[in-house]
């Protein structure tokens, strides 16, 4: 449901009166204090400035007095708010004008990527979306997911108003690079108040006859038919999303259980365990698309942005970018959601869920509880051996606890990978033994002929990865987070973050953290755990940093060798002062899990270079002792839901 912060919709006359009498900002302040608990002085000043300007805009006799006005509409399941809405009728049909308000006074164009500009925010220069794109994307979100807008044919007309910005000759904001976005949502600047009025009057000739803002606020969330059709056509025939063997069996179980849960109005939780290479994410995307195609409101959710961005990008084609992006959400988006607001939430990489949400980890109660609360059917894909930060709290026990607390039926199942591609469970077990995570029966058994190599020179490893990548753009370099990643150099390819001086080797961390994993020219960059977890490649070259070493016959870890910019172990030093044994044990597990995760991203092969020569030699000795088998027939392993019970 689209929820407003204000208690009621105002008419144009009431809005102007409230601004003139300085009542509106006070109401906004009180509402924010009540709902969020804090509001910055700069935000209050922003409201006062922008609302005063919009009051001037609305003081046009040709804009009907009974036009409806609303401000600060919160878009569901996001932290985004629509700044200003104007609702009315043009004599033929209903219209709502969406106005995105900006305080900016200067802008730089960014032509290397789509729909981005650079401006000063919060005291520093930042890359943000172009205001035309932002306004249009909000309109697209409302249209694609609001049943009343779809059924009643309410037309949404987005625009942006930068009241402090003065356009100039060859203006960067109006550059031809942004032509498509400007055509969908024009930008009005300082001195163009009459042009903005004319834009509003083009669509609002008469007042709001049908309570349009109320209709939008109370519209049921439902994916549009055009979105359903587009998603289905994109998935069909896409080999990357084809389900094989037990994946297909398990997908059908999950799909039918979701439909059954919605039909019977039975709140349900499904937990799927699965290690690396079992196809959890492929099943998640199939469930997302096909449940949406049944008219259900479904979202793909993950804490880590890497899989969200990559899978969203792979589904994009002729379909609108925003339509796809709105289906992929972060796990911190649900602390304000209503009970059963969504039909289905599909939680990928559930082990990465955090307790609190927000930039400062101060919002909400518990992400596991919040996603179960927010949906009728919640499915968790989880591998507890892939927890890689101190904040990762996703566990099967916690899911069971909150399922019971929220009176949800629990369905559990375990997906076990077959010997497929060229990797196998045997390789993962062998790797666990080598990393001394656990002793296994696979001390010297790597299963099928998985291509594992140890390099003495990282330059040679990079060359091999670059060569393999020429085949299909599915090979990448990865590294442990032992080198700083300063903000100032993150978009500069000449800034080489990872330097191994004794080999005259240097490489940048990935320049783009959104779709680095599939960008054609990013093979000569290195991804970290945060930009690669949840993704699969054909081959990976992993640089093992000084946080992992080999001494006296043991693989040891040293969390002090991690980069300061890595947040995975934030708080470990404080913990070490109070309880050094616990701190060491937690850090040790996270470091080993991190390299286990990095070294299982490659479906056909994994190459490594260790900065510690002794560790490199240890890996080579273990590799030489290992045996492989040329041919193993897959054995079917049952993955149907089991242990179904009511909590």
Q: Cα–Cα distance between 231 and 111 in angstroms, integer?
A: 29
Hey, which residues does 88 pair with through a beta bridge? 95
567 vs 187, residue with greater confidence: 187
pLDDT of residue 344 exceeding 80:
yes
Dump pLDDT digits (tens) for 549-585.
Answer: 999 999 999 999 999 989 899 899 999 999 999 999 9
The answer to whether the CB of 84 falls within 8 A of the CB of 142 is: no
With a CB cutoff of 8 Å and minimum separation 6, the contacts of 313 are 514, 515, 518
| Percent above pLDDT 90 for the chain | 56
End-to-end CA gap in the chain: 28
The dihedral of CA 253, 254, 255, 257: what is its sign?
positive
Residue 321: in which H helix or E strand, if any?
Answer: helix 321-325
- The SS3 call for residue 330 is strand
Q: Residue with structure tokens 């996270």?
A: 590
Q: Cα–Cα distance between 427 and 450 in angstroms, integer?
A: 7
Dump pLDDT digits (tens) for 16-32.
Answer: 998 888 777 666 666 65
pLDDT of amino acid 443: 74
Across residues 135-157, what is the average pLDDT?
Answer: 89
pLDDT of amino acid 40: 56
CA distances (Å), origin 533, targets 96, 303, 333, 435, 601: 41, 11, 20, 18, 8
Q: Among 26, 495, 595, 16, which Cα is nearest to 6's?
A: 26
Dump pLDDT digits (tens) for 82-136.
Answer: 889 999 999 999 999 999 999 999 999 998 778 889 998 877 888 888 999 999 9
pLDDT of residue 491 exceeding 90:
no
Residue 543: in which H helix or E strand, if any?
Answer: strand 537-544
Dump pLDDT digits (tens) for 282-314.
Answer: 899 899 989 998 989 899 999 988 887 777 777
Alpha-carbon torsion, ordered 533, 538, 539, 544, to 10 deg: 10
Strands 537-544 and 525-527: unpaired
pLDDT of residue 640 exceeding 70:
no
pLDDT of amino acid 333: 87
pLDDT of amino acid 455: 97
Tell me the pTM.
0.74
Q: Cα–Cα distance between 529 and 13 in angstroms, integer?
A: 55
CATH code for the structural domain at 227-415 = 3.40.50.300
Check residue 366 and give left, alpha or beta (phi > 0: left; psi -120 to 50: alpha).
beta
CA distances (Å), origin 266, targets 298, 382, 395, 484, 647: 16, 23, 23, 48, 12
Hey, which residues does 68 pair with through a beta bridge? 11, 87
């Amino acid at each position: 449901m689209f929820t407003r912060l204000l208690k009621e919709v105002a008419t144009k006359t009431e809005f102007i009166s409230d601004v003139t009498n300085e009542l509106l900002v006070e109401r906004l302040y009180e509402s924010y204090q009540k709902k969020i608990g804090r509001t910055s002085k700069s935000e209050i000043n922003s409201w006062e400035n922008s609302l005063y300007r919009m009051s001037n805009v609305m003081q046009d006799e040709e804009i009907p007095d009974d036009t409806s006005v609303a401000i600060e509409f919160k878009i569901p399941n996001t932290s985004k708010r629509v700044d200003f809405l104007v609702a009315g009728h043009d004599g033929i049909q209903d219209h709502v004008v969406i106005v995105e308000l900006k305080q900016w006074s200067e802008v730089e164009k960014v032509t290397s990527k789509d729909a981005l500009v650079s401006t000063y925010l919060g005291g520093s220069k930042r890359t943000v979306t172009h205001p035309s794109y932002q306004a249009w994307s909000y309109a697209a979100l409302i249209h694609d997911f609001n049943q009343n807008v779809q059924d009643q044919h309410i037309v949404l007309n987005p625009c942006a108003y930068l009241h402090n910005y003065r356009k100039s000759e060859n203006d960067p904001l109006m550059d031809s690079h942004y032509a498509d976005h400007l055509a969908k949502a024009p930008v009005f600047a300082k001195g163009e108040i009459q042009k903005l009025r004319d834009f509003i009057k083009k669509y609002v000739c008469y007042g709001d006859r049908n309570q349009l803002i109320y209709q939008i606020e109370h519209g049921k969330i439902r994916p549009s038919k055009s979105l359903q059709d587009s998603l289905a056509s994109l998935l069909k025939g896409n080999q990357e999303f084809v389900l094989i063997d037990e994946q297909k069996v398990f997908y059908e179980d999950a799909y039918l259980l979701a439909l059954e849960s919605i039909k019977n109005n039975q709140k349900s939780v499904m937990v799927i365990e699965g290690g690396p290479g079992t196809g959890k994410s492929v099943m998640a995307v199939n469930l997302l698309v096909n449940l949406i195609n049944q008219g259900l409101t479904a979202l793909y959710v993950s804490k880590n942005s890497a899989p969200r961005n990559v899978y969203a990008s792979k589904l994009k084609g002729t379909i609108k970018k925003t339509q796809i992006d709105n289906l992929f959400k972060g796990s911190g988006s649900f602390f304000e959601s209503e009970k059963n607001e969504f039909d289905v939430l599909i939680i990928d990489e559930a082990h990465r869920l955090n307790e609190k949400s927000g930039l400062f980890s101060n919002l909400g109660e518990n992400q596991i509880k919040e996603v179960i609360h927010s949906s009728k059917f919640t499915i968790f894909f989880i591998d507890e051996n892939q927890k890689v930060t101190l904040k990762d709290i996703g566990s099967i026990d916690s899911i069971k606890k909150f399922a019971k607390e929220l009176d949800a039926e629990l369905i559990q199942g375990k997906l076990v990978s077959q010997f497929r591609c060229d990797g196998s469970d045997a390789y993962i077990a062998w790797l666990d033994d080598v990393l001394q995570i656990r002793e296994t029966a696979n001390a010297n058994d790597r299963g099928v002929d998985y291509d594992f190599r140890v390099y003495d020179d990282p330059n040679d490893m990079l060359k091999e990865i670059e060569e393999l990548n020429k085949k299909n753009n599915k090979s990448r370099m990865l590294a442990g987070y032992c080198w700083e990643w300063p903000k100032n150099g993150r978009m500069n390819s000449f800034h080489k973050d990872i330097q191994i001086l004794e080999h005259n080797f240097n490489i940048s961390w990935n320049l783009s953290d959104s779709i680095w994993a599939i960008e054609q020219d990013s093979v000569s960059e290195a991804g970290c755990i945060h930009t690669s977890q949840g993704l699969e490649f054909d081959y990976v070259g992993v640089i093992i940093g000084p946080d992992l070493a080999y001494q006296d016959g043991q693989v040891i870890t040293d969390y002090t060798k991690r980069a300061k910019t890595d947040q995975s172990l934030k708080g470990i030093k404080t913990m070490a002062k109070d309880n050094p044994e616990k701190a060491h044990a937690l850090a040790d597990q996270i470091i080993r899990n991190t390299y286990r995760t990095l070294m299982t991203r490659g479906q056909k092969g994994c190459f490594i270079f260790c900065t510690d020569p002794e560790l490199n030699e240890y890996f080579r000795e273990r590799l030489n002792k290992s045996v492989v088998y040329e041919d193993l027939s897959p054995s079917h392993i049952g993955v149907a839901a089991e242990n179904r019970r009511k909590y």
